Copies of this chain bind each other. A is one copy, B any other.
């Protein structure tokens, strides 16, 4: 439950993609006021404005100056571009990116910070922010305090993370999430070739992610590589003989599993 004393902030959302949408919904749910949504694409801006029941604009110049906090949730590349035109002098401005430095916001305001929700967001699936880690960083103590108040109103897992740590976390997230998801795609492709559906693997995929909740993944490793089962690995490589790229991934990942296991034995 939110403490009764927690503030309700006036917020402007800059961006109308998955992160802006899910964040906007969570903020409204915690009784903050979304004043305005900006997106350079009119359709996106108007759609999110409607969803969040607020004003929208497609012009940087028309971004209002009435909000307490401006949350920039646009593509990493676009942040630098935006910082050339947006001026908010003493308003708090944050971005939500895992890999952009906090200082990228310096041209926009003297009070700036990072509000990085560590999750993969979809358009069609509402996120439950309570368990989503929010990584905070700020230019000064007062800004950090405000961002902390905002973050805690939607999540039970708020952490102070500096830019260096955040970049490391983002890199690790690419391996653990983006690359894993691609492995699911590869698995699906392998199955489809034999007219089988990924459905049969879904309980396994879920359990694999679940198991590491209370166990180090290194101790949960199973499969032919960790068993050193060369026969099976050779047989599986043969099954992939019509796809050289998958063979390379198979070899590389298997070797990496064998290497980490050997490292532990040393």
A interface with B by C-beta (< 8 Å) = 75-77, 99, 118-122, 124-125, 131-133, 135, 157, 159, 164-165, 167-188, 190-191, 193-194, 196, 198, 200-213, 215-218, 220-227, 229, 231-232, 235-236, 239-240, 245, 248-250, 252-253, 256-257, 259-260
Contact of A173 among B133, B201, B211, B220 (CB under 8 A): B201
- Are the CB atoms of B185 and A217 closer together than 8 Å? yes
Contacts of A203 in B (CB 8 A): 118-119, 131-133, 157
Contacts of A132 in B (CB 8 A): 203
Contact of A212 among B172, B184, B213 (CB under 8 A): B184
Give the interface centre of A182, A216, A232 by most chain B CB atoms within 10 Å.
A182
Assembly CA distance A1 to B116 (angstroms): 46
- Are the CB atoms of A201 and B118 closer together than 8 Å? yes
- Are the CB atoms of B215 and A205 closer together than 8 Å? no
Assembly CA distance A207 to B129 (angstroms): 12
Contacts of A232 in B (CB 8 A): 76, 99
Q: What is the CB-to-nearest-CB distance from A36 to chain B, in angstroms, rounded to a whole number?
A: 26
Copies of this chain in its oligomeric complex: 2
With A221-B182, A225-B178 given, is the CB distance from A208 to B211 under 8 Å?
no
Contacts of A120 in B (CB 8 A): 204, 207-208, 211, 220, 222
Q: What is the CB-to-nearest-CB distance from A128 to chain B, in angstroms, rounded to a whole number?
A: 9
- Are the CB atoms of A176 and B205 closer together than 8 Å? yes
Which residue of the partner chain B has the closest CB to A162?
Answer: B194
The 3 A-B residue pairs whose C-beta atoms are closest, nearest first, are: A178-B223, A209-B209, A184-B217
Contacts of A226 in B (CB 8 A): 178
- Are the CB atoms of A209 and B211 closer together than 8 Å? no
Contacts of A183 in B (CB 8 A): 175-176, 179-180, 183
- Are the CB atoms of B213 and A99 closer together than 8 Å? no
With A180-B205, A218-B188 given, is the CB distance from A200 to B256 under 8 Å?
no
Assembly CA distance A132 to B199 (angstroms): 11
- Are the CB atoms of B257 and A252 closer together than 8 Å? no
Q: What is the CB-to-nearest-CB distance from A104 to chain B, in angstroms, rounded to a whole number?
A: 12
Contact of A191 among B121, B169, B225 (CB under 8 A): B169
Q: What is the CB-to-nearest-CB distance from A249 to chain B, in angstroms, rounded to a whole number?
A: 6
Q: What is the CB-to-nearest-CB distance from A161 to chain B, in angstroms, rounded to a whole number?
A: 8
Contacts of A245 in B (CB 8 A): 256, 259
Assembly CA distance A211 to B179 (angstroms): 14
- Are the CB atoms of A201 and B178 closer together than 8 Å? no
Assembly CA distance A222 to B133 (angstroms): 18
